[in-house]
């Protein structure tokens, strides 16, 4: 039974032991406006049947929307077999495989996950998954800083602003210095790289495809940063990786990403699962842990935790990160999903997304007041300039049962008339036609003359 302090003397002694006088001193880093100023106004406790009735009444208020939103979370189909397998008690209840002799099934699944990720990314080693794609990107930056012993980080303009925020939060105590490249052209340009990279740059972080749905020229970025002794971190979409040359074959040093698209529901934004892959030379700097294949005393194949560099396994001072879990259940779902589809199935899935996105682009850019903003190649997502604020369009189309996309004004105020629209294999041509008709029915407004932060509208590039 753990000891729980229950007197003022006990609390005072504990505070003194950690070097503060008052509990409030522990909150110094929390802004005053973010602190609760009064007790929470919570309703009285309910009995179990009352609670079930309350939840049912709330569920009845839900509406079903045809989803064209993306920006990192996508509406892909989850095969029934995925849910069936991850619902088995040996996966559902397993925590962590500390004892290899009783956790061979869990260890094998993690090993298979690592193998699939290596094949997708073109890298030599992958760890036993991460919290999510954003924290994986942050861990990659810390790894690059530790490897190069540098603190300057270059963030591509097409990197998700959410990922950029997480990276900056993670590295807050490491005195990292950031340069964010311009986003006007939608992709990284050589001129921008030349002006941002120098011999003090630890890494460049670029997405493939990026936040605007565009494909980046990874090999050019790799050549530029490697010439200065820095590292290239690629935040990759696992579905798109089935179509393109893997980042590992284009010079990437670390490839991270979000695995939600691999058979994991959107679930209002979580839980998610990140992946982290790199080259063998960085294997001992991997955050988290790594499962390897070995043989037992009888020569039979088996699996074990080969590297355990997280705080729960070794001394904190020696840990590569403070990652405390590997989202094993979500990683299991992703492993089952990738195993079911296989190499050819994943590629066909990626092709379906590509076909639907380009079909929609041709239809939408033919509408008055709508233009594709970028001329670059894209996969399943693209940016459209609109005849009125994107927020208003999204709200208006929700009444028609359509979630039209993501309002870029949420992240860039100057882009309040830009809509990021995503397409997956679940979007039928009939649904896409309904979206186009709904957009065409939106009442137009005068264009916003102050919006000059992106490239001039271009025709659809295939």
Residue 383 CA neighbour count, 13 Å, CB half:
31
Task: For residue range 187-210, list pLDDT tens digits in order.
Answer: 999 999 999 999 999 999 999 999
CB–CB of 171/229 below 8 Å?
no
Q: How many helices and strands (H and E) does the chain possess?
A: 12, 15
Task: For residue range 104-134, list pLDDT tens digits in order.
Answer: 888 899 999 999 999 999 999 999 888 899 9
CB–CB of 103/94 below 8 Å?
yes
Task: For residue range 361-410, list pLDDT tens digits in order.
Answer: 999 999 999 999 998 899 999 999 999 999 999 999 999 999 999 999 99
Residue 417 has pLDDT above 80, yes or no: yes
Q: Could you tell me if residue 323 is inside a domain?
A: yes
Please name the residue that has the structure tokens 């605007």. Answer: 212
- Do 280 and 419 lie in one domain? The reply is no
- Do 326 and 346 lie in one domain? The reply is no
Q: Band the pLDDT of 28: cuts 50, 70, 90.
A: confident
| Predicted local distance difference test score (pLDDT) of residue 461 | 33
- Do 258 and 328 lie in one domain? The reply is yes
- SS3 call for 402: strand
- Do 253 and 401 lie in one domain? The reply is no
CB–CB of 287/139 below 8 Å?
yes
Q: Give CA–CA dist 408/427, Å, rounded.
A: 21
Task: For residue range 424-438, list pLDDT tens digits in order.
Answer: 999 999 999 999 999
Q: Could you tell me if residue 448 is inside a domain?
A: no
- Do 156 and 270 lie in one domain? The reply is yes
- Do 293 and 357 lie in one domain? The reply is no
Percent of the chain scoring above 70 in pLDDT: 89
Which range marks the domain in which residue 204 is found? 80-339
- Do 355 and 335 lie in one domain? The reply is no
CB–CB of 116/101 below 8 Å?
no
Which one is predicted more confidently, 312 or 248? 248
Residue 444 has pLDDT above 90, yes or no: no
* Phi, psi torsion values for 233, nearest 5 degrees: -110, 125
- Do 233 and 90 lie in one domain? The reply is yes
- Do 332 and 198 lie in one domain? The reply is yes
Q: What is the CATH number of the domain that holds 167?
A: 3.40.640.10
Residue 452 has pLDDT above 50, yes or no: no
CB–CB of 105/291 below 8 Å?
no
CA diameter of the chain: 77
Task: For residue range 279-291, list pLDDT tens digits in order.
Answer: 999 988 888 888 9
Q: By 3-state DSSP, what share of the chain in percent is helix, strand and coil, each rounded to 5? A: 40, 15, 45
Which one is predicted more confidently, 95 or 368? 368
Please name the residue that has the structure tokens 């992709």. Answer: 187
Please name the residue that has the structure tokens 């609109």. Answer: 386
Please give the tally of structural domains in the chain.
2
CB–CB of 137/205 below 8 Å?
yes
């Amino acid at each position: 039974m753990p000891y729980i302090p229950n007197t003022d003397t006990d609390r005072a002694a504990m505070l003194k032991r950690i070097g503060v006088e008052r509990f409030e001193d522990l909150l110094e880093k929390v802004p005053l406006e973010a602190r609760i100023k009064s007790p929470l106004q919570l309703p009285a406790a309910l009995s179990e049947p009352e609670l079930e009735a309350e939840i049912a009444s709330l569920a009845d208020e839900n509406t079903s929307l045809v989803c064209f939103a993306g920006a990192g979370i996508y509406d892909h189909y989850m095969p029934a077999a995925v849910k069936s397998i991850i619902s088995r008690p040996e996966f559902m209840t397993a925590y962590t495989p500390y004892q290899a002799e009783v956790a061979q099934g869990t260890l094998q699944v993690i090993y298979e996950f690592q193998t699939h990720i290596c094949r997708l990314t073109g890298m030599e080693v992958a760890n036993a998954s991460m919290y999510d794609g954003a924290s994986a990107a942050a861990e990659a930056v810390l790894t690059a800083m530790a490897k190069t012993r540098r603190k300057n980080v270059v963030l591509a303009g097409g990197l998700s602003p959410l990922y950029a925020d997480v990276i900056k939060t993670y590295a807050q105590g490491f005195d990292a210095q950031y340069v964010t490249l311009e986003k006007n052209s939608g992709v990284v340009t050589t001129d921008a790289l030349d002006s941002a990279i120098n011999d003090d740059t630890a890494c460049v972080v670029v997405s493939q495809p990026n936040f605007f749905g565009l494909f980046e020229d990874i090999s050019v970025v790799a050549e530029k940063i490697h010439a200065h002794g820095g590292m290239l971190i690629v935040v990759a979409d696992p579905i798109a990786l089935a179509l393109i040359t893997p980042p590992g074959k284009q010079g990437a040093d670390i490839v991270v990403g979000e695995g939600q698209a691999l058979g994991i529901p959107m679930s209002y934004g979580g839980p998610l699962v990140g992946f982290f892959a790199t080259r063998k030379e960085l294997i001992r700097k991997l955050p988290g842990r790594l499962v390897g294949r070995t043989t037992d005393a009888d020569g039979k194949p088996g699996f074990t935790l080969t590297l355990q560099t997280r705080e729960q396994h070794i001394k904190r001072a020696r840990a590569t990160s403070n990652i405390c879990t590997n989202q094993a259940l979500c990683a299991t779902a992703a492993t089952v999903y990738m195993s079911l589809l296989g190499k050819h199935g994943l590629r066909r899935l990626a092709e379906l997304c590509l076909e639907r996105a380009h079909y929609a682009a041709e239809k939408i850019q033919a509408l008055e007041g709508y233009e594709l903003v970028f001329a670059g190649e894209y996969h399943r997502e693209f940016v459209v300039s609109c005849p009125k604020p994107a927020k208003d369009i999204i709200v208006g189309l929700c009444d028609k049962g359509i979630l039209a996309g993501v309002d870029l004004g949420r992240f860039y105020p100057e882009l309040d008339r830009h809509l990021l629209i995503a397409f997956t294999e679940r979007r039928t041509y009939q649904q896409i036609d309904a979206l186009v008709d709904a957009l065409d029915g939106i009442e137009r407004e005068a264009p916003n003359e102050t919006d000059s932060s992106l490239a001039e509208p271009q025709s659809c590039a295939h």
